[in-house]
Amino acid sequence: MSSPVEILKEAGVSFSTFTHAPIRTYEDIERELDLPADRLLKTLAFRAEDGRFVLVSLPMLLPVGYGKVAKAAGVSRSKLRRAGDDDLRELGMAPGGISPVTRVEPRTVVFHTSVPDMGTVYCGSGRDDETVQVEAADLVALVRPVLAEVG
Q: What CATH number was assigned to the domain covering residues 4-148?
A: 3.90.960.10
List the domain boundaries for the chain.
Answer: 4-148
* pLDDT beyond 90 at 80: yes
Using CA atoms in the order 56, 57, 59, 60, what is the torsion angle rounded to 10 degrees?
Answer: 80
Query: What is the per-residue pLDDT across 30-68, written as a single tens digit (0 to 9) for each?
Result: 888 888 889 999 999 999 999 999 999 999 999 999 999
**Type of residue found at 4:** P
What CA–CA distance (Å, rounded) separates 42 from 57?
A: 5
Query: What is the per-residue pLDDT across 112-137, written as a single tens digit (0 to 9) for each?
Result: 999 999 999 999 999 999 999 999 99
What CA–CA distance (Å, rounded) separates 56 from 30?
A: 21
Averaged pLDDT score across all residues of the chain: 95
